[in-house]
Amino acid sequence: MPDTFKLDLTHRPRRLRRTPSLRRMVEETVLRPADFIAPLFVVDGRPAPDEIKSMPGVFRFNITDLVRECRALRRLGVPAVALFPKLDPRLKDEEGTQALNEDALVLRAVRAVKKAVPELTVLTDVALDPYTSHGHDGVLTAAGDDVENDRTVGLLAKMAVLQARAGVDLVAPSDMMDGRVGAIRQALDAAGFTGTGIMAYSAKFNSAYYGPFRDAVGSAQAAGTRLLSKATYQLNPANRREAIAEALLDEAEGADILMVKPAGLYLDIIRDVREATRKPVAAYQISGEYAQICAAARLGWLDLARCRHESLLAIKRAGADMILTYFAKDMAAALR
């Protein structure tokens, strides 16, 4: 005997989920290639791209191959890249002096990319960890037990001016020193680079998920461990209000874009920052987030294509206007 039970419902939300075209019509959050910024790693002189073992599908490029990768990204509609250098360990020292070398690797990379793909937006990291023998983001105190804030900021301001002179569109201080955004803005303006923007790593947390990135730039090797603690300058993962305070300080000091890092574990912070500011908000889907999705997919436990899409959709839905992600190239290709 057939079941004739029928609900007397006026509202049936499933009506708008019935067909693919209906679902597309009411879709609230849509990913586009233009949403992505591709982080890229550059090295000196390697004959071919060098895959990073802890980040499958991510490579260190020499400058020639970097330019080729940037052209490919631009053709796919990705509007921006963020460049990170991996130095020869012999060039590193306690003070990170190579960061102020006017012919530093990252500056040569910037000049090459801007010459070859001038329409591509180029970001550069402003921090000392790729350059220091201890792996910290700044110079250490005399006791060697902490990063010296103000002296580090002075170096970062000089570093930002060199990057602006090389042609970057946005400098991106990732160090989490107090007052660095204001000092960098002042230094850029004084040097005539009023048009160079600042994407501030405003709420960068002391996360356990940075290990693969530290392998990629060699800061883990320099420090002798990927477990290096940066708790005296990066944010406590437990603190939500402090993250908003940091973001608003960066805005007041002249940041053009505010960033939350990591992204996937801090969707609440992305939403809080989005509601606290009128500035554009960036989020960085970091190396550990990327690596765990890839690892689970390789084991057959997750669907890679669906998981990368869902993870990025969640970040945009939370309020990010742009996303730094190692999935940028593959996602842009899939979306096109």
| pLDDT tens column, 95-133 | 999 999 999 999 999 999 999 999 999 999 999 999 999
Q: Please give the average per-residue pLDDT across 82-90, as a whole number.
A: 95
Report, as an integer, the average pLDDT of 183-194.
98
Mention every residue, 6+ apart, whose C-beta is less than 8 A from residue 278: none
What pLDDT does residue 160 have? 98
pLDDT of 2 over the 80 cut: no
Provide the whole-model pTM: 0.94
pLDDT score at 230: 93
- Which of 20-29, 44-53, 138-147, 265-274 shows the lowest per-residue confidence on average (mean pLDDT)? 44-53
Distance CA 217, CA 214 (A): 5
pLDDT at 222 over 80: no
The percent of residues above 90 in pLDDT, for the chain, comes to 92
Burial class (CB in 10 A: 0-12, 13-18, 19+), 284: buried
Domain ranges of the chain: 29-335
pLDDT value of residue 229? 86
Strands 59-61 and 36-42: parallel
pLDDT at 218: 82
Cβ atoms of 288 and 207 within 8 Å: the answer is: yes
Query: Which residues does residue 211 pair with via DSSP β-bridges, in sequence order?
Result: none
Q: How many CA atoms lie within 13 A of 313 on its CB side?
A: 11
The per-residue pLDDT for 46 is: 77
- Looking at per-residue pLDDT, the higher value among 48 and 263 belongs to 263
What pLDDT is recorded for position 45? 86
61, pLDDT greater than 60: yes
pLDDT at 247: 98
Paired with 39 in beta bridges are 82
Active-site residues: which are they? 204, 261
- 183 and 157 Cβ atoms separated by less than 8 Å: yes
The pLDDT value recorded for residue 227 is 62
| pLDDT exceeds cutoff 60 at 225 | no
Query: What is 29-335's CATH superfamily?
Result: Aldolase class I (3.20.20.70)
Q: Dihedral, CA atoms, 194, 195, 198, 199, nearest 10 degrees? A: 170
